[in-house]
Structure 1
Amino acid sequence: MSDVTAGSAGPPTFCPTLHYRDAKAAIKQLTEGLGFTRTALYESEDGAVLHAELSFGNGVVMLGSKGAGGAYEEALGAGGPVGVYATVPDPDAHHRRAEQAGVEIVTPPTDQDYGSREYTARDLEGNLWTFGTYAPAAPKA
Structure 2
Amino acid sequence: MIGMAGGPTICPTLLYEDAQAAIAQLKDAFGFTVAGVYEAEDGAVLHAELTHGGGTVMLGSKGGEGAFVQAMKGAGPVGVYVAVEDVDAHCARARQAGAEILTEPADQDYGARDYMARDREGNVWSFGTYIPGQADA
Kindly state the Cα deviation for residue 39 of structure 1 after the two structures are TM-superposed.
0.3
**Runs (4+) off by over 3 Å:** 78-82
Q: Where does 1:27-42 land on structure 2 (aligned, <5 Å)?
A: 27-42=23-38
**Partner residue of 2:52?**
56
Kindly state the Cα deviation for residue 76 of structure 1 after the two structures are TM-superposed.
1.1
Which of 13, 16, 25 lines up with 1:17 in the alignment?
A: 13
Identity among equivalent pairs (%): 62
Q: Give, in whole Å, the separation in 1 of the partners of 2:64 and 2:10.
A: 23
Which structure 2 residue ranges, 5 or more long, are not aligned?
81-137
**Partner residue of 1:111?**
none
Over the aligned positions, Cα root-mean-square deviation in angstroms equals 2.1
Partner of 2:64, secondary structure, is coil
Which of 52, 67, 71 lines up with 1:71 in the alignment?
A: 67
**Partner residue of 1:115?**
none
Partner of 1:28, secondary structure, is helix
Which of 30, 39, 44 lines up with 1:43 in the alignment?
A: 39
Partner of 1:31, secondary structure, is helix
TM-score norm. by structure 1 comes to 0.50
Q: Give, in whole Å, the separation in 1 of the partners of 2:36 and 2:73.
A: 25
